[in-house]
Amino acid sequence: MRPEYKPKAIRSYVIRAGRITEGQRQAFDQWWPTYGLSLHDGPLEPKAVFGREAPLVLEIGFGMGDSLLAMARNEPDKDFIGIEVHPPGVGRLIKGAGDEGITNLRVYMADAIDVLDDCVPEGAIARFQLYFPDPWHKKKHHKRRIVQPAFVEKVRQKLMPGGVMHLATDWENYAEHMREVMEAAPGLTNVAGAGLYSARPEYRPVTKFEQRGARLGHGVWDLLYRT
């Protein structure tokens, strides 16, 4: 007898009282209908969402959203989708986008793996961005790092031919881990050359904490790989 088929549960994050400021809550009330995307909408249709065909940029974990907003502002020829589970950051981003009248930006407040699995079509992404993810710097926690072979393969399938996967970290040990995983990944070529790091592309803004780290002598490592 075949096992009973059970549909995959769609998980989502909810805004909980006390987790965001009143101003951020107001931003959700005002701007979420414009900028918010939901797992429950199913597979993404970029042309229907943005009303045009344009290169699609996907970023996981945009934090407070300042750099993602800057990129959407500076690259109006591209459409941007950000994924973040932190309500204050989402609220800040959509308020900033709404106040500026940004039209080429949308947001998922959900688990990134769920979005990749349930919503992002294969071959849809021109540029994938993962900037300064949690380094889980203790060795016993390295298995929790998001950059692992299975994750990289999942993202690669979402990239269009010639699409770019762009990673950045300010932890040298994590940079080495990222490079090791990416160099071993099939179907991806290091833009800078095998085993090398890339210079920061002009499109990636320098964040405030990155500027502070630079003053303290901390390095930042960028990795760019193309399909």
| Active site positions, annotated | 134
- Residue 9 phi/psi, 5° resolution? -70, 140
Give the 3-state DSSP-derived string for 107-171, with helices as H, strands as E and coil as C: EECCCHHHHHHHCCCCCCEEEEEEECCCCCCCHHHHHHCCCCHHHHHHHHHHEEEEEEEEEEECC
Partnered with residue 166 across adjacent β-strands are: 129, 224
CA dist., res. 110 & res. 116, Å (int): 10
Give the 3-state DSSP-derived string for 10-61, with helices as H, strands as E and coil as C: CCCCCCCCCCCCHHHHHHHHHHHHHHEECHHHCCCCHHHHHCCCCCEEEEEC
Q: How many CB atoms lie within 10 A of CB 114?
A: 18
CA dist., res. 145 & res. 174, Å (int): 9
Contact by Cβ (8 Å): 69, 102: yes
- Residue 67 phi/psi, 5° resolution? -70, -35
